């Protein structure tokens, strides 16, 4: 997942097709946030709740990305910094809630986890296919791709956790997956923040002294 090809201008999301793609994935992610939040509460699953939070984060990220398209590089870099920090906050929240669940040790409902995980995976794969051609670009565009990738990985992990919970009758697979998702949030946050800081410095250097 490079940030662009040498000798080519960074894609900044200015095409109408990219705007339409963002609107589509905003609607998909907002709907799945509502579905997965309800299912997570019903199943008592930390992995589902963590993945639902990822859907919410993606919905907000895509909406902010849509707003930022075409604006100055300095502003787009600031928006990307905000999104990177929000991903870090989500990762820390997931870690905290996972530790709390370890103390409670409630076993989630594996059938609900699996069924919703499959539905969410289908939604995420649709988003990934829509955004595949736009995976490279500036920090604003790249953050959208990273969130889409997180979605797909997260739902595969939730489905695996559901199978493991069903086979073992233990909450630990669910908790392990929630921890992995938290680490994924934090890693994506690091990537976005690093590129956004570099683009902010680039924008500052371009301003006449």
What are the tens digits of pLDDT across the range 95-151? 676 666 555 545 556 676 677 778 888 888 888 788 777 767 666 677 777 777 777
Dmax of the chain from CA atoms? Answer: 65
Residue bearing tokens 């969410």? 120
With vertex at residue 164, the alpha carbon angle to CA 162 and CA 170, rounded to the nearest 5 degrees, is 95
Q: Which helix (H) or strand (E) holds 106?
A: none
Residue 86's closest CA among 69, 65, 71, 72? 65
Out of 68-72, 84-88, 136-140, 168-172, which region has the weakest mean confidence (pLDDT)? 136-140
What does the pLDDT read at residue 7? 39
Structure tokens at 49: 């709740």
What does the pLDDT read at residue 125? 83
Q: What is the mean pLDDT of residues 194-208?
A: 79
**14 or 61, greater pLDDT:** 61
On the question of pLDDT at 3 being above 80, the answer is no
Cα distance between residue 61 and residue 16, in whole Å: 18
Each residue's pLDDT tens digit, 37-75: 888 777 776 667 767 877 787 788 788 878 887 778 778
Distances (CA, A) of 56 to 3, 101, 147: 25, 21, 11
What does the pLDDT read at residue 46? 66
Residue pair 62/181 in contact (Cβ under 8 Å)? The answer is: no
What's the pTM? 0.62
What does the pLDDT read at residue 27? 93
What does the pLDDT read at residue 181? 76
Alpha helix (H) ranges present in the chain? 16-43, 46-68, 73-104, 110-131, 139-168, 172-206
Residue 93: Cβ within 10 Å count: 15
On the question of pLDDT at 2 being above 80, the answer is no
Residue 101's closest CA among 189, 170, 156? 170
On the question of pLDDT at 5 being above 50, the answer is no
């Amino acid at each position: 997942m490079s940030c662009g090809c040498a000798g080519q201008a960074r894609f900044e999301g200015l095409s109408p097709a990219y705007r339409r793609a963002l609107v589509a994935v905003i609607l998909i992610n907002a709907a799945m946030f509502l579905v997965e939040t309800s299912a997570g509460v019903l199943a008592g699953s930390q992995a589902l709740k963590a993945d639902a939070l990822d859907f919410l984060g993606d919905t907000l990220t895509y909406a902010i990305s849509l707003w930022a398209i075409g604006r100055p590089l300095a502003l787009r870099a600031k928006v990307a910094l905000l999104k990177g920090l929000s991903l870090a906050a989500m990762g820390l929240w997931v870690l905290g809630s996972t530790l709390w669940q370890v103390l409670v040790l409630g076993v989630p409902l594996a059938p609900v986890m699996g069924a919703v995980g499959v539905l969410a995976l289908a939604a995420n794969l649709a988003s990934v296919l829509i955004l595949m051609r736009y995976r490279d670009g500036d920090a604003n565009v790249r953050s959208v791709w990273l969130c889409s990738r997180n979605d797909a990985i997260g739902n595969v992990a939730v489905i695996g956790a559901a199978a493991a919970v069903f086979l073992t009758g233990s909450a630990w697979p669910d908790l392990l997956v929630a921890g992995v998702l938290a680490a994924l949030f934090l890693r994506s946050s690091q990537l976005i923040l690093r590129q956004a800081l570099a683009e902010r410095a680039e924008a500052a250097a371009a301003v006449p002294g």
